[in-house]
Amino acid sequence: MMATSKATILAVTFTVSCAVLYAVCTELNLPLVTYHPVIGEIDFLWKPERRGPAMYWYGWMLTSLIGATIIASMATLIPENWLQRIITFAAAAAVAYLIVYSLALFVYEKATVELEWLKWRWLSAAVAFVLAAVVSLLMPIAWNERVWPGWTWAVPAGALAVLGYYLVPYFTR
């Protein structure tokens, strides 16, 4: 089995990182530009609406495009097995955080005493970090030799699930 070509590494890493960055930019509202469609003007970074609604979607895409291009370019410089480990760790950390934080909120809701610390996001993030590190270390060496092509659908599907979750209020009003 041959090593993955640089072009494929670049493309795969771009797709994976851009999907993650897009979800992050959307949820944290980090647009590179703000477009005002009524007056046809563009502002740099986030700006509030002026005479009509403001559009941030183009800005979120630009932020994630630039970020993903930088990450993908850097990915071609590191050994492939390390790239696979990094993506595995990041994916495991994201899933672990989702599970740990959901469990913490569930316990908080059901508890008969006040357990405020269960709502601390950083605590769930720290636990997720440790779990992801363990998962990455226990991963068979053979699984880390090459970048798994399946990341290109698994990560964007996960990003889409997160983006969809934040749109639920539109359907429950």
Q: With binding defined as CB under 8 A, does residue 81 bind other proteins? A: no
Asked if residue 16 lies in contact with residue 152, where contact means CB atoms within 8 angstroms, the answer is yes
Single residue of 50, 52, 102, 120 touching other proteins by CB under 8 A: 52
For residue 103, give both structure tokens. Answer: 């469990």
Q: What is the smallest separation between the CB atom of 105 and other proteins, expressed in angstroms?
A: 23
Say how many C-beta atoms besides its own lie within 10 A of residue 154's C-beta. Answer: 15
Helix (H) or strand (E) holding 95: helix 80-110
Q: With binding defined as CB under 8 A, does residue 42 bind other proteins? A: no
Q: With binding defined as CB under 8 A, does residue 18 bind other proteins? A: yes
Complex with other proteins: residue 26 or 136, whichever CB lies closer = 26
Q: With binding defined as CB under 8 A, does residue 143 bind other proteins? A: no
Asked if residue 19 lies in contact with residue 12, where contact means CB atoms within 8 angstroms, the answer is no
Q: With binding defined as CB under 8 A, does residue 153 bind other proteins? A: yes
Complex with other proteins: residue 8 or 133, whichever CB lies closer = 8
Complex with other proteins: residue 35 or 132, whichever CB lies closer = 35
Q: With binding defined as CB under 8 A, does residue 7 bind other proteins? A: yes
Helix (H) or strand (E) holding 7: helix 6-28
Tell me which stretch binds other proteins (CB under 8 A): 56-64, 88-96, 105-113, 122-130. 56-64
Phi, psi (5° rounding) for residue 36? -110, 100
Q: What is the smallest separation between the CB atom of 166 and other proteins, expressed in angstroms?
A: 9
- Closest alpha carbon to 21 in 76, 59, 77: 59
Complex with other proteins: residue 22 or 101, whichever CB lies closer = 22
Asked if residue 27 lies in contact with residue 168, where contact means CB atoms within 8 angstroms, the answer is no
Sign of CA dihedral 104, 125, 149, 164: positive
Q: With binding defined as CB under 8 A, does residue 35 bind other proteins? A: yes
